[in-house]
Structure 1
Amino acid sequence: MTAPPSPPPPRRRNPLSRPGRRRSARRAGHLAGAYGLLVLTGLLYLVFSLALPRTFPTLDTLDSILSTQSIPAVLALAAMVPIVTGAFDLSIGYGLGLAHVMVLYLIVDAGWPWPLACLVVVAGGTAVGVLNGVIVEFGRIDSFIATLGTGSMMYAVTGWITDGGRIVPGPQGLPAAFTDLYDSTFLGLPVPAFYVLALTVALWVVLERLPLGRYLYVVGSNARAADLVGIPVRKYTVCAFATSGLIVGCAGVLLAAQQQLGNPSVGLDYLLPAFVGALLGATAIRPGRPNPLGTLVAVAVLAVGLTGIAQLGAEFWTVPLFHGGTLLLAVGLAGYSARRRLRTGAATTSDAVAVTPEDGSP
């Protein structure tokens, strides 16, 4: 009686084979896409430090960046949340202007205690966000048009409150505890930087570690498929807009503490930088999907670039030129990242088929 034939030895995957090279190239491409903006931030800092050794690589410059870029960073995070669900909130700039004017109106003209005024404004920002979500989802109006319409209405309310002028505090000024929300320091750094860090961590936990975040990403990826599997698309989209409105209300409070006077048109200056940061952030850390860490890195790139340009003595028109060009680059890179993810998924499937023996053995 002859012994049964021994089973064939397991097939080992050669890392130098074509599938192995493809996986290595994809891994390298993923690392470059995920951390390219972070590397770019370091390179920009190095270039400006070499070009401006006396002014740029200083603690004063660092404090200035952390302080002045805190509000754009908060607003970029506010813009990012609806983008996760595939929607856009163009009212955030108008909402920022209305929120900071309302805070100063309630404190200066109405005589409210500043904590109550801040709380009411943040609650009002949340209510506006809910309204935007309801109009988009239940009114079936495109988010661009809906939020542009509500933003225009908020701008009208801002002009009505200020009567086209500015809200200027009296001789006593604003309460010191209120202005300290922006002017104070913690651990030697401007306290607004810690607001941005706390907000980024909170959004990261929600979007990356909680089921709510996964549902929001599914809605943004394919709303119809999400509805078919039982995810309440309308509910989560309204929640995304409400979160955005809440963050905008907080940014308005911070802007009021910074400006210390009510300017009805100041919020519009923050609209374009916010979307540049949110869209450019979708190409970093988690390429192809909006994420808070990527948004923070994108804001850092913009902050370093704008600060260096300003210290080089560039003209005022270079700022909108920089923002506009970066926005086009961000949209292009975001589209490329999304297409690359689709190609990578298809390539992964073909590689798996190529390395699987015909008889199904490992």
Structure 2
Amino acid sequence: MATHTEPSPDRTRTPSGDGPRRGTGRLRGHLIGTYGLLALTALLFLAFTVALPGSFPTADNLTSLLSTNAIPAMLALGAMIPIVTGKFDLSIGYGLGLWHVLTMQLIVVGGWPWQFACLVTIAGGTLVGVLNGLLVELAKIDSFIATLGTGSVLYAVTLWITNGARIVPGPEGLPAWFTDLYTSTFLGLPVPAFYVLVLAFVLWLVLERLPLGRYLYVIGSNARAADLVGIPTRRYSIYAFAGSGFVVGVSGVLLAAQQQIGNPSGGQDYLLPAFVGALLGSTAIKPGRANALGTIVAVTILAVGLSGITLAGADFWVTPLFNGGTLLIAVGLAGLSARRRLRAGAAATRRSLSADGEPPAAPVATEPAPNDEPRHRVA
């Protein structure tokens, strides 16, 4: 008896040899999307090392990189938290200005113990974050508008506290323990670098390993679906803004310890680099979604690039040009990564349906049968 063997569905759909090539292409694309920005950082560092051997790869410059970029890195991580839920906190630059000025005001003018002044400042940053979350989730104000309005109010409070003037310590200066929060070293490295590492680890742990992080990602992906499966989207979104406010409060304390003066407009210059780092970071490590490790990589490439072009003798206007251009590129790449992620998910769903033997939904719904009768009858 002759036996007829039906060809497998995969062989009829895919020409011989095309499957492995397609799999290799997907793997290559995955590696480039995941580690491409990290590789670019290494190449950029190598290029500046070769071009500027006497100034760029020195210990002093590397120490300066770690110290001066700690606050931008922390702000980028803080800005990343609401971005995970699909929201934006534009008040972080104004908040940084207020909280570092308030810290100086309480210590220098009010004579408060520096420990208590720092705690009050951090608590204030957290409360403003909660306020932002309430405005967005309960008052239903768009996050751009709500946080921009909050930021303007924070800037007004900053000007009111300082009367538009800088707060300068007296001849006795600031408490040494307070300034050591930023100026001290640990294991031969600036201690602010360790603040960034600890914050990045905590956010990685929360977002990648705990249910809270998974809920935040689901809310950012599809808030309606999160509601349907029982996730309290409002509460977790407020948590995200509170986390951002907490990080901004801590950054304000560190900025006061670094600059040792209160500058009313000192925080606004940090807004753009923070969002560049957060958005560019969503194209690395976990392409298509904001993540802590990708944000660190993005801040590193920004720090290396700015340091290199500054040491090369670039004019003062190159820095805002670099930040603005990188922001545009970051937004474009973030959108591209998100679309690729959605397409990959849709393709995986189609492959799963095909493997189960179920026909695609669209042709069944629209294509008539040859005998002009419906393909499926309802009894």
What is the match of residue 172 of structure 1?
172
1:352–1:236 Cα change, 3 Å: closer
In 1, distance between residues paired with 2:249 and 2:356?
Answer: 55
Deviations 1:302-354 (A, max 9, x none): 00000000000000110010001100100100111111112222333444566
User: Is the CA contact (8 Å cut-off) linking 1:98 and 1:157 kept in structure 2?
Assistant: yes
Q: How does 1:99-118 map to 2 (within 5 A)?
A: 99-118=99-118
In 2, distance between residues paired with 1:127 and 1:8?
Answer: 67
What is the match of residue 307 of structure 1?
307
Asked if 1:125 corresponds to 2:121, the answer is no
What is the match of residue 290 of structure 2?
290
Please say which of residues 19-28 and 80-89 is displaced more in the overlay: 19-28
1:10–1:225 Cα change, 3 Å: closer
What is the match of residue 327 of structure 2?
327
Question: What percent of counterpart residues are identical?
Answer: 69
What is the match of residue 364 of structure 2?
none
User: Is the CA contact (8 Å cut-off) linking 1:99 and 1:121 kept in structure 2?
Assistant: yes
**3-state SS, counterpart of residue 141 of structure 2:** coil
Which letter maps to 2:194? F
Deviation at 1:21, TM superposition (A): 2.3
Deviation at 1:356, TM superposition (A): 7.0
In 2, distance between residues paired with 1:71 and 1:15?
Answer: 54
Deviations 1:171-217 (A, max 9, x none): 00000000000100000000000000000000000000000000000
Deviation at 1:11, TM superposition (A): 10
In 2, distance between residues paired with 1:329 and 1:40?
Answer: 14
CA RMSD of aligned residues (A): 2.1
Deviations 1:130-159 (A, max 9, x none): 000001100000000000001000000000
What is the match of residue 153 of structure 1?
153
Asked if 1:218 corresponds to 2:218, the answer is yes
What is the match of residue 258 of structure 1?
258
Deviation at 1:23, TM superposition (A): 2.2
Asked if 1:75 corresponds to 2:75, the answer is yes
In 2, distance between residues paired with 1:99 and 1:11?
Answer: 63
1:15–1:176 Cα change, 3 Å: farther
What is the match of residue 32 of structure 1?
32
Which letter maps to 1:31? L
User: Is the CA contact (8 Å cut-off) linking 1:91 and 1:151 kept in structure 2?
Assistant: yes
In 1, distance between residues paired with 2:288 and 2:48?
Answer: 29
Deviation at 1:99, TM superposition (A): 0.3
Which letter maps to 1:303? A
In 1, distance between residues paired with 2:201 and 2:18?
Answer: 40
What is the match of residue 209 of structure 2?
209
Which letter maps to 1:168? V
Deviations 1:204-258 (A, max 9, x none): 0000000000000000001111011110010000000000000000000000000
User: Is the CA contact (8 Å cut-off) linking 1:80 and 1:278 kept in structure 2?
Assistant: yes
**3-state SS, counterpart of residue 267 of structure 2:** helix
What is the match of residue 272 of structure 1?
272
Deviations 1:41-95 (A, max 9, x none): 1000010001101111111111010000000000000100000000000000000
User: Is the CA contact (8 Å cut-off) linking 1:97 and 1:158 kept in structure 2?
Assistant: yes
Structure 2 unmatched ranges of 5 or more: 359-379
1:85–1:330 Cα change, 3 Å: same
User: Is the CA contact (8 Å cut-off) linking 1:19 and 1:351 kept in structure 2?
Assistant: no
User: Is the CA contact (8 Å cut-off) linking 1:94 and 1:152 kept in structure 2?
Assistant: yes
What is the match of residue 95 of structure 1?
95
TM-score, scaled relative to structure 1: 0.94
User: Is the CA contact (8 Å cut-off) linking 1:75 and 1:251 kept in structure 2?
Assistant: yes
Deviation at 1:17, TM superposition (A): 3.3
1:225–1:9 Cα change, 3 Å: closer
1:249–1:23 Cα change, 3 Å: same
In 1, distance between residues paired with 2:357 and 2:156?
Answer: 68
Number of matched pairs: 355
Structure 1 unmatched ranges of 5 or more: none
In 1, distance between residues paired with 2:7 and 2:177?
Answer: 75
Deviation at 1:19, TM superposition (A): 3.0
User: Is the CA contact (8 Å cut-off) linking 1:279 and 1:334 kept in structure 2?
Assistant: yes
Which letter maps to 2:81? V
User: Is the CA contact (8 Å cut-off) linking 1:26 and 1:344 kept in structure 2?
Assistant: no
Which letter maps to 1:167? I
What is the match of residue 237 of structure 1?
237
In 2, distance between residues paired with 1:160 and 1:308?
Answer: 39
1:352–1:226 Cα change, 3 Å: closer
1:235–1:353 Cα change, 3 Å: closer
Please say which of residues 25-34 and 305-314 is displaced more in the overlay: 25-34
What is the match of residue 339 of structure 1?
339
